[in-house]
Amino acid sequence: MTHLKNVSGYLPDENPPLGKLLLFALQQIVVMFPATVIVALLTGFHISTTLFASGLATLCFIVVTKGKIPLYYGSSFAYLSAIVSVTGFKYAANSIATSPDEMIQIAQFGIVMSGFVSIIAGFIINRFGKDTIDKILPATITGSVAMIIGLTLAENAILDAAPFMEGMNNNPDTQLVWIVSLVTLLSTIFFSVYIKRGVLSQIPILLGLTAGYITAIIVQQATGIQFIHFDVLTGAIVQAPHFTLPKVSWPALFAIMPIAIATIPESTAHIYQLDIYVNQLAKDKKTGKIYKLKEKLGLNLIGDGIGDIVSGMIGGPAGTNYGENISTMAISKNFSIGVLVAAAVITMFISFFTPLINLIYSIPKPVIGGLEIYLFGVIAAQGIAILMDRKVDMFDSKNLAVIAVILIVGLGGNSAFGGMIPFFGLQLPTIATAAISGIGLNLLLNFGRKQKDTSEDMS
């Protein structure tokens, strides 16, 4: 009986007392905040709108999934290169730099349409089972696409890590800009690797960003290089987010929509993780309940797609359910849907607070660059992890062919043509072209292999 008293935590259909509920909600916000905000900074989307969209999409996800799946929706790094290829945005520190509305609206169309990829995948899984999706989008494709998403952003990361800053003219200390980006990078890695428990273990990006920001202040005071302009209180204290509507653009559709295929394995992994965590807590609490979360994979993808559509319709980036929030729930043993609803509502409220938005816009470019080196590399590494997790046979000629085509088309197209491949009078977005090429080649090679295998079985 003593053991039972020591078991604490909240299952999806349980709610903590109001005070704890708000505390847990704030913790979820802190965890998702850095990555979601950085996506907005790097794509030129409005931060206030991005935060509002994150909260609203989470609420819609919870409604669509009938409160059965405890997940939080945040902006995804996977879509960065595709969105930037459409908007042409370049991050500029110390200014409220956003893409023109028209470019955001064009990207919104691609984001909204990408939501339908997840929804269709969800319906296919519900109707035919997960094996059908695996045949169309095996790990050779999803893993390779994830790799090129990260690697095509490598140039942006290095350029942002050592940008030209105001006050650097005729200044012998110009190389000190590297100090800021390296402190940011190394501190973020340190916090990620060495802090394993507690709330701090869930916010290494925020901690690394803070370390880089403080370093920038110190270097600015010592050298005169203008890293930061302190104009946090500029403008009204409260201001509504800047909403825009999508504008039809077929190039944006072909550039952004296929990226959704790379997020399907991520969503799959998240729902399987949740199933383990939630049912273990139910077992420890001896509730007698069984939460069949992994059977809701199709519903999860449908909810994820709805989140993209909702976010894209009002001017937010594409997103996905956040692994950081899942880890936070696992550590705190708090999977309450009520907590996630509160976190979503509070996030939407925060999006109206102008001083916080201005503070975010003041983040120096080398700080962002330091974070990018780590984050974009992790995206590429996750592609390798997908291949390893699914035990892809790297000696199989078919697998090598699919992976080779995706990697070279994606990376070569980006480095040689700047992200758009000229092809018979068309301009084809590299990542989308690589993904579609891989899918087509895989289906073609599978068709030939099936016939061969069938004839061998008959003999």
For 141-165, what is each residue's pLDDT tens digit? 988 988 888 888 888 888 888 876 5
| CA–CA separation, 310 and 57 (whole Å) | 6
Tens digits of residue pLDDT in 347-376: 999 999 888 888 877 888 888 889 889 888
Q: Take residue 11 and report the two structure tokens written for it.
A: 């299952």
> In this structure, are residues 34 and 351 in contact, taking their beta carbons and an 8 Å threshold?
no
First vs last C-alpha separation in the chain: 64
Q: For the chain, which residues make up each domain, given as ranges?
A: 2-451
Q: What is the CA radius of gyration of the chain?
A: 23
Distance from C-alpha of 417 to C-alpha of 134, rounded to nearest angstrom: 32
Give Cβ neighbours of residue 251 (< 8 Å, ≥ 6 apart). 86, 106, 427, 429
H helices present in 224-336, as ranges: 250-256, 260-284, 297-314, 323-332
pLDDT of 394 > 90? The answer is: yes
Q: How are beta strands 319-321 and 73-75 bridged, if at all?
A: antiparallel
> What integer pLDDT is reported at residue 84 of this predicted model?
86
Identify whether the C-beta of residue 372 lies closer than 8 Å to the C-beta of residue 401: no
pLDDT score of 2: 39
Mean pLDDT of 74-83: 84
Residue 304 in this model has a pLDDT that exceeds 90:
yes
pLDDT for residue 361: 78
Residue 174 confidence (pLDDT): 63
Tokens of 50: 């991005």
Higher pLDDT, 113 or 163: 113
- At 76 the pLDDT is 84
CA torsion, ordered 365, 370, 375, 376, to nearest 10 deg: 80
CA–CA gap between residue 369 and residue 208 (Å, rounded)? 12
Residue 93 predicted with pLDDT over 70: no
Residue type for position 411: L
Q: Which of 324, 320, 380 is nearest to 143 (CA)?
A: 380
Q: Which pLDDT does position 51 carry in this prediction?
A: 95
CB 226 within 8 A of CB 220: yes
Residue 12 φ/ψ region, left for φ over 0, alpha for ψ in the -120 to 50 degree band, beta for the rest: alpha
Report DSSP state, residue 235: S
Phi, psi of 74 (to 5 degrees): -135, 170
Least confident among 176-190, 341-355, 367-381: 367-381
Per the rule left: phi > 0, alpha: psi between -120 and 50, beta: everything else, 224 is left
- Please indicate, yes or no, whether the overall pTM of this predicted structure exceeds 0.85: no
What's the pLDDT score for residue 393? 94
Cα–Cα distance, 68 to 79 (Å, whole number): 27
319-333 average pLDDT score: 79
pLDDT for 1 beyond 80: no
List phi, psi (to 5°) of 149: -60, -45
- 453 pLDDT band, cuts 50/70/90, is very low
